[in-house]
Amino acid sequence: MIYAVIAAGGIGSRMGNVEKPKQYITLKDKPIIAHTVEKFYVNDCFKKIIILCPEQWVNHTKSIIKKHLPEDERVVVLQGGSTRNETIMNAIKFIEETDGLDDETIIVTHDAVRPFVSARIISENIEAALKYGATDTVVPATDTIVESQNGSVISNIPDRSKLYQGQTPQSFKAKLLKDLYYSLTEEEKDILTDACKIFSMKGYDVHLIDGEVHNIKITYPYDLRVAKALLDEEIK
Amino acid sequence: MLNTVFRLTQPRKIEIAFSEIDIFSGNVIVRPTYLSICNADQRYFQGTRDPKALAEKLPMALIHEAVGEVVYSPDKDFKPGDFVVMIPNTPVEKDEIIAENYLRSSKFRASGFDGFMQEYVSISADRLVKLPADINPAVASFTEIVSVSVHAISRFKRFSHERRETIGVWGDGNLSYITCVFLRKFFPDAKIYVFGVVPKKLSDFTFVDETYLTTEIPEDMKFDHAFECVGGNGSQIAINQIIDYIKPEGTISILGVSEYPVPINTRMVLEKGLRIFGSSRSGREDFVKTVEMYKEFPDIVEYLSHMVGYVKPVRSIKDMMEAFDLDINKSFGKTVMKWEK
C-alpha cells in the first residue's frame, strides 16, 4: 500500500505580514495546498492522501478539500504533530490503525507548499521507495555552500559538486521509518532536520531522486512572487 | 492542478510553462506515456515552416500523436488506468455533411493549440479511444498517422468505382507503408504495386505484390486506382506519373502534403475521366476503426512495429532535444518518446 502524506504544519511565521499560513494562500484562484493535493489525487497508486495540519486549521483544510477536489474518501485531514517527524508519525499511526502496517507500506511525504511537484518526481519516489526503502528528492546545489561554526568566519567550504539541495517528496518504508524513529534518543531526535536523516543516522542508504528547479517551496513572500510569475505566462 | 507544459518557444528551444487544469471542467485527465514525432513537429522544431507561421503559432507544445493513461475521469466510459489514444482534432461544431477534420472551425493539437508534450492532458472524453492494454505502446503512439491512412481508404471506398483489382501506391515512406498495410486488409484480393525511389525502403514492403523504382516503371503498367503518398517536391512527378499509368475512370487519392501549388496534367485527367480527391487528418470514427482493426488483425500491429525506430526515454528537456535530433537523422520509421517527464 502506498500513501501520500502531505505535511501542512507551517503556521506562516516566515511569511511576513501575510495572515494565513502559507499553504492557505491563494495561487491562481486556489489555495496552494489544493494545488499540491491535486497532484497526488490524480495518481491512483495512493490508497489514501493524508493531509496533516495544525489543530486549529483542520476544519479549514477540510473545507478547502471539499471545495476544490471531487468527493473522495481517499483524502483524509488529520492534526499534525509538534515537529515534522512527529507529524509523519501521526500519519503512520493513522495508517496502522486503519489499514495496518507492513514492511511494504510506503509513505510519500511532501510539503504542502510545493505545488509544482511533477508526476515524474512522484512516480520515481514510489518506485525507488519500494526498491530501496528511503528516498530524498534533490537538485544539484548551484550556490556555493559555506560552513561557519561560529557565524562570523568560514570554517569550511564543501565541494559543491557533491552537494545537493533537498526538496520533497521524501519517501520511506513506513514501518522501518517508525521503528528507526522510536529507537532514537531524545538527543538524536533534537538534531533531526528531516526524516531522511533518521535513515542516514542509522546507516541506511537514502536513494536520490532528481528534483526540478521549479519544484519550489513557497516559504517567503519572494517565493510567492516567483510562483505567480511562473504561472503568469498562462497557456493559450 | 498546476500542469507542466513543454513548449517550443523558438526553433530548437523548448521551455517549461505552466497551465492550470480544472479538475471540475468535465474533461478527462490523461498522463501521456508514449509520444511519436511527426514531420510536422520537425518543421516547427527545425524552423523550416515559414517565418509567419512560426511567429503566429509559437510558443506551442508540439506532438499530435500520443497515447496515455487515464488518471482521472468524470466520464463513466473511462476509469483511471485505461490505456487510450488521444485524438488531436478538436471540433467545436457538428455538421451533417462535412467531417470533423474538414470543418474550418476545428482546432488541431500542436497546430492551433498546445500538443501533447505536457505532464498531463485535459481532454474531452470524445477525443479518447480505448486501446487494448497489451498493445505495443510504441506502435499505438502513432495511431494518429495510421488513422489518416484509414480515413483516406474509407473515403476511397466511397468515391472509387468497384473494380479494385489493382492499386498503385506512390511513395516509399511511412504514410505509404501504413496505407499499403491497410489496403492489404481492406482489399485482400487486389494486387498492390508500390512505386518509390529508395530500393532499401521498398524492400520493406514485403506484403505487397510488386515494388518498382519510379525510374523503372514497365511501359505496360496499368492499375485501376492509385494513392499518392509522396508530398513535397516529389508531388508533381508522382501525381503526373499516376495520371500517365492509371486506367480510365480511376480514382486518385492524394495524401502527400506540398507547401507549393503542384501543376498536373489536367488534359489527361479529363481524357481519362479521372477522379482526384484529397484527404487530410482524421476524426474520431477513423480512430475507432483503426483500433478495431488493430484488434481484428494483430499482424497489422506487427507490420507497424517495423516502423518503430528509436524509443527514447524522456525525463528532461535535453532528452526531448535528443529525440528530435535522432528523428531528423532517420531515413524511415517513427521516433517515439517514452514520456517519463
Q: Say which CATH number the domain at B203 has.
A: 3.40.50.720
**Taking 70 as the threshold, does the pLDDT of residue B179 lie above it?**
yes
* Domain assignment present for B177: yes
Quick one: B6 and B138 in the same domain? yes
Q: Do A130 and A44 contact (CB within 8 A), yes or no?
A: no
User: Cβ A235–B23 below 8 Å, yes or no?
Assistant: no
Domain-embedded: residue B286? no
Pick A235's closest partner by Cβ from B19, B72, B340: B19
> How far is Cα B331 from Cα B341, in angstroms, rounded to an integer?
27
- Burial classification of residue B168, based on how many CB atoms lie within 10 Å of its CB (0-12 exposed, 13-18 middle, 19 or more buried): buried
For the stretch A48-72, pLDDT in tens is 999 999 999 999 999 999 999 999 9
Tell me if B302 is assigned to some domain: no
Cβ-defined contact of B23 to A69 (cutoff 8 Å): yes
A190: pLDDT strictly greater than 90: no
Of B200, B126, B212, the closest CA to residue B166 belongs to B212
Q: Which residue do the cell numbers 489525487 mark?
A: A41
With bands split at pLDDT 50, 70 and 90, how would you rate the model's confidence at A11? low
Local structure of A173: helix, strand or coil: strand
Percent of chain B with pLDDT over 70: 100
Looking at the fold, whether B61 and B155 belong to one and the same domain comes out as no
d(CA B65, CA B144): 5
pLDDT tens string B224-249: 999 999 999 999 999 999 999 999 99
Residue A236 scores a pLDDT above 50: no
Q: B31 and B116: one domain?
A: yes
pLDDT of B259 higher than 90: no
Q: How far is CA A85 from the centre of its chain?
A: 11
- pLDDT for A82-96, tens place per residue? 889 999 999 999 999
Are B61 and B111 part of one and the same domain? Answer: yes
Locate B126 and state its grid cell.
470524445
Q: Where are the domains of chain A?
A: 2-138+166-232
**Identity (one letter) of the amino acid at B45?**
F
List the Cα angle B6/B9/B12 in 5-degree steps: 90
| Distance in Å, alpha carbon of A103 to nearest chain B alpha carbon | 26
From the number of C-beta atoms within 10 Å of its C-beta (0-12, 13-18, 19+), residue A194 rates as middle
Do B72 and B172 lie in one domain? The reply is: no
Cα nearest neighbour of B74 on chain A: A70
Least CB–CB distance from A38: residue in B1, B19, B315: B1
pLDDT of residue A234: 53
- Contact flag B120-A234 (C-beta cutoff 8 Å): no
Task: Determine the distance from the C-alpha atom of residue B119 to the mean position of all C-alpha atoms in its chain, rounded to a whole number.
Answer: 23
Q: Is the pLDDT of residue A233 over 80?
A: no
Domain encompassing residue B128: 2-142+307-339
Could you tell me the CATH superfamily of domain A2-138+166-232? Spore Coat Polysaccharide Biosynthesis Protein SpsA; Chain A (3.90.550.10)
ipTM of this model? 0.88
In sequence order, the 6+-apart residues with CB closer than 8 A to the CB of B38 are B63, B64, B65, B142, B144, B145
Q: What's this model's pTM, rounded to 2 decimal places?
A: 0.93
Assess if residue B9 is contained within a domain.
Answer: yes
Task: Chain A: give the shortest CA distance to residue B337, in Å.
Answer: 15
Tell whether B156 and B228 lie within a shared domain: yes
Chain B residues inside the 8 Å CB shell of A236 = 60, 113-114
Strand partners, B6: B16
Tell me if A116 and B18 make a contact (CB, 8 A cut-off): yes
Number of domains in chain B: 2
> Which CATH number belongs to the domain containing residue B21 in this structure?
3.90.180.10
| Per-residue confidence band for A142, with pLDDT thresholds at 50, 70 and 90 | very high
Distance between CA atoms of residues B3 and A39, nearest Å:
9
Residues B66 and B166 in one domain: no
**Residues B132 and B151 grouped into a single domain:** no
Give the pLDDT of residue B47: 94
Is the CB of A235 less than 8 angstroms away from the CB of B17? Answer: yes
Q: Which residues of A1-15 are buried (b: 16+ CB within 10 A; e: fewer)?
A: bbbbbbbbbbebeeb
**Are the CB atoms for A135 and A206 separated by under 8 Å?**
yes
What 8-state DSSP symbol labels residue B89? E
The answer to whether B313 faces chain A, any CB pair under 8 Å, is no
Cβ <8 Å between B1 and A116:
no
What share of chain B has pLDDT > 90, as a percent? 96
Q: For chains A and B, count residue pairs whose Cβ atoms are closer than 8 Å.
A: 64
| Per-residue pLDDT at B207 | 95
Within an 8 Å CB–CB cutoff, is residue B114 touching chain A?
yes
Torsion of CA B33, B36, B41, B42, to 10 degrees: 130
pLDDT for res B135: 97
pLDDT of residue A203: 93
Calculate the average pLDDT of chain B: 96
Is residue B270, in this structure, part of any structural domain at all? yes
Taking any CB pair shorter than 8 Å as contact, residues of chain A touching chain B are 28-30, 35, 38-39, 41-44, 68-70, 115-116, 118-120, 123, 210, 214, 230-231, 233-236
Grid coordinates of B102: 474538414
Q: Closest approach of chain B CAs to the CA of A124, in angstroms?
A: 9
CB atoms near residue B97 (< 10 Å): 5
Q: Is B315 on the interface with A (CB under 8 A)?
A: yes
Residue B158, C-beta contacts closer than 8 angstroms, at least 6 positions apart: none
Q: CB of A216 within 8 A of CB of A226?
A: yes
State whether B101 and B184 are in the same domain. no
